Structures are given as structure tokens and as C-alpha cells.
Chain A
Amino acid sequence: MVGRKWWVPWLWLSPALLLSGIFLLYPTIDTIRRSFLPKGSDAFIGFTLDNYRFIVDNPQPLVADTHSALLNNLMWLTVFTTITVALGLVIAVLAARVRYEAVAKSAIFIPMAISFVAASVIWRFMYEFNPGIGTINAVLKEVGGEPTRWLQDTGAPQTPFTHAGPDSLPHPIQINNFALVFVGVWMWTGFAMVVLSAGLKGISTDILEAARVDGANEWQIFRRIIIPNLSPTIAVVATTLVIQALKKFDLVWVMTAGKFKTDVVATLFYKEAFLFNNPEIGAAVAVVLLLWVVPIMVISIRRFQFQEETR
């Protein structure tokens, strides 16, 4: 509109700008500042790196194990993201070939709608040690295995082929972490599947038909046509999952409260900032989280700028 007063756009924007300024932008800057303050000093008396040194030196491994939290988050980042993307892709491709696609996809997708808290209850019940009531241990016992304390066991996963004793593998690779990651996978596979399935529908059937006429088998089609065409979509899904993995809090908090070396950065932050009354250390932990997210932030801004140019 031509005759619009200069302040009109600002009036429309003001509630949003005000709220994101007060609740997001200012606190982010303040948290960065706070992470450099000495313990208990609200007023400025000088900068220190003590809070970051706390994370690096890990002086209280029994109450707040910073190393295990960082390593666990790394494991969430890689294992959770990889499995969820892979499973989502496989289910999207398989379900597209059957007539009951919609029903099958709904069933996989349902966990997306429920809270991590409810999911934690569901899976605490599944993982229950007593094979009389814990579904997984009951199945395990049925096939001749030993019941496992899924949420407490810090040992390495045992398979019929390897008999790794406890602690025979480096730290984050422990049964209870995998058990937690699997709950995350259970909840987020539906998301990956839905987005990838929409991408799949976008691949022209002409290309697929042409490949089939030329004698390509299904694996070649998957490998040479579906994967390359879907790679931008896979990237979007993976970015979202990485952010999820980094911020993971509810699930770990309700299922184990970070006990048995299952802490992640978000639970460590909560403990330091709100339970142990160390907001400065908490702030430093949050900054670590932010640093991990910065590359993703850059990527999503770039992607957006690219979209705008091609619009």
C-alpha cells in the first residue's frame, strides 16, 4: 500500500518484537554474560572462566558428571539421528508399496502426539526389570535370555556374539543410554517418515518407470534414484532431529533423572541452575548447548536466504 505511515509496520510487529526481545534475545545475551561471572555475583565484579573450567575439569563426577553429559549428548546426536532417519526412510519406502499405507503410517506416527512424560511412563513400564510385568524382559525370558535392568545398567550391550563385560567399552556406549535413545527413536520416527514420505511422493513417477523399464532392480532404484532425490529432505529431517537430540530433557529427566550416568547437557543445566543453585555454571552449560546449535542456525539462515532468492 502506498500511503502507509512509517510507523504502521512497527505497530503490527511490536507485540512479536517485544516478546521475542524480552523472552529470547535479551535472556540469551544475559546468559552468555552470566556464564563469565564468578559464583554468586549478580553485580559485575570481573570476568572469569571458572564456570567453563568446571565443565572441562569435571570436579564433581558423582553429582554432576559434565564429561558423561557431554559424551551422552554426542551419542544422542549421532545414534538417535542416524537410526531415526534410517528407520523413517525405510518405513516411508516400504509403506508406499502396500495398500494399507495410511493405516501403517498413522500407527508409526501416533507417538509424535503424546508428551515425553507420557512416553517415559509407557517405556518405564516396558523396561521394568521384573519379567512378570516388564514386557521386554518377559519376551527376553521367553527366548531364553537374562532379564536386564534396562535403565540402570551401565554396561556395554551384550549380543549373542560378543560377551563384553561391564565397562569394557568407553563410557557413553552403555545399555541404559541405548534404552533411552530408543524411546526417542520411537517418538520421532513418525516425524522422519512423514516428511520423507512427502518427499518420496514428489519424485516423478516417470523417472521411476523409466528406470524399471531399463531393468533397474528395486535396490538400484533406492540407491541411485530415491536417495539422491531425497537428500535435501533428508538434510531437513536430520537438522530437526539434531536440534531435538541436543535439547533432549524431558525424556531423560522423567525416566532416570540423569542417574546411572545418563545425564545429558540439558539435565545437567537444570540441576546446576535450579537444583544446586549454581546459575553461573548452569549458564556456561547452556552456552555450550548454544555453541552446538550455531552451525545449524547458520545452515537454516542460509537455506532460508536461498529459498527467498529462488522464490
Chain B
Amino acid sequence: MARPNPTASGETAVRARPVGLQFGATVRRVAGRLPLHLSIIGLVALWSIPTIALLVSSFRDPGLVVTSGWWNAIKDPFSLTLDNYETVLDQNGMARSFLNSLIITIPSTLLTILVAAFAAYAFAWMKFPLRNFLFLVMVGLLVVPLQMTLIPVLKLYVSLNEWFGFLGHDVPLLGGRWFGTNSYAGIWVAHTAYGLPFAVYLLRNFFGGLPRDLFESAYLDGASDFKVFRRIVLPLSMPAIAALAIFQFLWVWNDLLVALIFLGDPDRAPMTLTITNLVSSFGTSYQLLTAAAFISMALPLVVFFALQRYFVQGILAGSVKG
């Protein structure tokens, strides 16, 4: 790096040096870092513009969305309207789909955490034959493509439809069948099973890292496994459980494939499926699609901003799930 030459500008420059040089150095430092700032800001803009475009369009006049660019909305910011949201919620079934997404996601998430926590406790703190082998099978199942399982599980579900047929066709309050295809219970169990390898892996690693002394003194005091699990393991593992909950919630909420195969009925469909159907029938009606997409993104975005820390922890703790 070139150094400033103090002799070049003579006597006065020497006296002015402290202030002048500092200022020059600041300018040079800022100018030197300008490419850094520009590239970061450029990338951030590139990454945010698509989402902003969606958000702006969803609030524009339905006629304008498909005839003029979303950037024109800046010229006339007071013409924004909720019309598109009213239309998709009422006429395109997005209101019911939002409810369906909640009905599918919440039990699936809770069930996964419950089942995985029991298994993880056993894997971490109990001794039994084949323990390591069984856990390695779990790790192996982590990467098995879902596609491997869909055909047999669908066949199983179709035959279960007949077995559960005697219960009648509609579950009170929720609707749908009792179990099998087009049933909420069927998709809860399927999502739980598909989420298990990751959940067991994540929780077992966390439980296994808790200090051994805690367990030994509790067992010496005569505490049962269930008591240790409830009073020691669960409270201490809240960060891991929170991370898992967010992950599983987002995974189920954003899933299309499992819903596509096990919940074909439009009345039971989650938002991902409804939007996919909207795309195939109204592919360029962006006034509807943008509003529908934003409704499906709203909750994940809230979860993301409120619990970003746990989300990141979850990603760091087990980055193999897909």
C-alpha cells in the first residue's frame, strides 16, 4: 500500500497533518471498502426483490397486476387494495386450506417431538442390545428418499380405508376419513414417521451431551426413568426441542409431495396443494397467485423472525435432513 509522502506538500502540510491525514485515510478506507459494501448490498437486493415483488403485487388492483409491472405501484402507493386476498380466501378456498395446513401441521409436529424424545432418551441413556446398530439404521434412514416409500404406503393406506370404513366417512368437526388416504390422522402419522430419523438424531445428540452426573445422582435418589425424563431431560433440552419444533413445523407446513399423495381431496388440501392447483389452472393470474402465496408464507415468516436463533441452531445441529 502506498504511503503518503509528507515532504511533497511542504511546511504547511506538516502542520495540518493530523486532521488532513485522518480525513484522507477515512476517505481512502471508505472508498477501499466500497466494493465490499456494494457487493453485499447488491446480493441482498437480488435476494429480496423477488419477495418484495410478490408482496407489492398481491396488494395491487387485480386489473393492474397482469397489465403493468409491480414497480409502477411506487408511483401510486395509495391505490393498494385487499381485493385479491378477499377473492382467494372466499372463492379459491384458501381460507379452508389455511385451516387445513394448521390442522395437518400442529399435531404432526407435536407427535414427532413426543415419539422422537422417548426414543432419543433410550438411545442416549439406556443400555440394550443392538443399540448402536439400531441408531445407525436411523442415521441411514435420514437420507432415504421419500419416493422409496410412497407406493407401498399408499397401498397400505388404501386398504386401511376399507378396514376403517365401518366407522363411517366423516370425522366429526375436522372432516375427512378416520384413517388412510384423505384423513388427517393418516397424514399426521405419515409426517411423524418421515420426520423421525432427523428428530431422533437431533435429540439423541443433545440428550447425550447432558452431564452424566445429573443422571447418576437422580437414579441414586431413586428417580424413575420417566421422572428423570420429565424433570431433567426435557427442561434442559428446551433449545434443541424448540429448534426441532420449528424445523418440523416448517417442513410439514411447506410440504407438497406427501399431501399430494395422501390428501387428494380439495376440502382437506393444505395451502401448498391448493396453490399448486391454482398454478395449473390459472397459471398467469398473478393477482390471485401472489395473494395466495403470501398467505402461505405469512406464518413461516413470523416463525422465522420470532425464532430465528433456534432455527439457526437447528440447522447447525443436524444439517442432513431433506
Contacts and interface: CB of A to CB of B under 8 A. Distances in A.
Nearest to A296: B143
Contacts of A293: 143-145
B136 to A, nearest CB: 6
B36 A13 contact: no
Interface string A78-106: 00000000000001001101100000101
A20 to B, nearest CB: 5
A interface secondary structure, majority: helix
A247 B225 CA distance: 39
Nearest to B126: A9
Interface centre among B121, B144, B271, B312 (most CB of A within 10 A): B144
Interface residues of B, number: 102
A121 B137 contact: no
B147 interface: yes
A91 B40 CA distance: 7
B144 A135 contact: no
A12 B118 CA distance: 5
A98 B36 contact: yes
A84 to B, nearest CB: 13
Contacts of B139: 300-301, 304
B56 to A, nearest CB: 11
Contact of B316 (A111, A198, A246): A198
B322 A247 contact: yes
A9 to B, nearest CB: 4
A173 interface: no
Contact of A132 (B67, B123, B256): B67
Contacts of A239: 320
B181 to A, nearest CB: 12
Contacts, number: 283
B276 interface: yes
B119 A15 contact: yes
Contacts of A26: 152
Interface in A99-127: 104, 106-118, 120-126
Do most interface residues of chain B lie in helix, strand or loop, or is the interface mixed? helix
B47 A10 contact: no
Interface stretch (A205-213, A224-232, A266-274): A266-274
B74 interface: no
Interface stretch (A52-60, A160-168, A279-287): A279-287
Interface stretch (A43-51, A64-72, A248-256): A248-256
A289 B150 CA distance: 13
Nearest to A20: B196
A280 B4 CA distance: 76
A54 B320 CA distance: 32
Given A28-B144, A120-B279, A247-B145, A12 B322 contact: no
Interface stretch (B6-14, B235-243, B283-291): B283-291
B297 A118 contact: yes
A269 B147 contact: yes
B106 to A, nearest CB: 17
B66 A237 contact: no
B44 A24 contact: no
Interface stretch (B77-85, B161-169, B171-179, B301-309): B301-309
A234 to B, nearest CB: 12
B143 A25 contact: no
Contacts of A112: 304
B110 interface: no
Given A24-B141, A123-B50, 6 more contacts: A12-B126, A31-B151, A118-B293, A266-B147, A290-B148, A296-B143
Those 8 A-B pairs whose CB atoms lie nearest each other, nearest first: A23-B193, A115-B254, A16-B119, A27-B149, A113-B304, A27-B152, A12-B122, A121-B293
